[in-house]
Amino acid sequence: MANTVHIDVVSAEASIFSGEAEFVVAPASAGEVGIYPHHAPMVTTIKPGALRIKLADNAEETLIFISGGLLEVQPGLITVLADTAVRGHDLDEAKAIAAKDAAMEAMQNRTSDMDYAKAQAELSEALAQIQAIERLRKNTH
């Protein structure tokens, strides 16, 4: 086996790439980084951009576009934790505010504090219905 390092590219929604690489170039937030096997352990954030992977048994470079995330280098293992969405502080903030506002609006349309008695009553009613149906099913079989 040649001098290679294992690389995994994963996102929260799917596993994107896994293989042995001779050389990897990643768009780190502080500038592009090139990683050869036996690199020192490192963690860095990455910007949206192209990840270039030189595979062990292939002269061509594999290109993977990622919209940011994290890069971790362990001895003998590179992990790229890719984001599935374009992220940014302002973008995240806007989403948080939208989620908050929607909840506030919904809150205004109702009364009083948390009523546990009511909650329990509603739940037991629903549960009783389900149990009744199940009993009915058992009896008829």
Partner 1 sequence: MAGSKEIRTKIKSVENTRKITKAMEMVAASKMRKAQDRMRASRPYAEKIRNVAAHLSFAQVEYKHPYLIKRDVVKNVGLIVISSDKGLCGGLNTNMLRLSVNQMKTWETEGKAVTVSAIGNKGFGFMNRVGANVKSHIIGLGDVPHLESLIGTIKVMLDAYTDGEIDQLYICYTRFINTMKQEPVMQQLLPLSGEQLGSPKGHWDYIYEPEAKPVVDQLMMRYVESLVYNAVAENMASEQSSRMVAMKSASDNAKEVIGDLKLIYNKARQAAITKEISEIVGGAAAVA
State the residues that interact with partner 1 by CB under 8 A.
Answer: 8, 10-15, 28-30, 33, 40-45, 69-70, 72, 74-75, 79, 81, 83-85, 87, 92-100, 102-103, 106-107, 110-116, 118-120, 122-123, 126-127, 130, 133, 136-137, 140
Closest to partner 1 by CB, 57 or 113 = 113
Instruction: Determine the residue type at 48.
Output: P
Q: Give the shortest CB-23-to-partner 1 separation in angstroms.
A: 18
Q: Give the shortest CB-26-to-partner 1 separation in angstroms.
A: 11
CA distance 64 to 16: 9
Q: Give the shortest CB-105-to-partner 1 separation in angstroms.
A: 10
Q: Give the shortest CB-122-to-partner 1 separation in angstroms.
A: 7
Closest to partner 1 by CB, 3 or 120 = 120
CA-CA-CA-CA dihedral for 44, 50, 51, 52, to nearest 10: -140
CA distance 55 to 82: 19
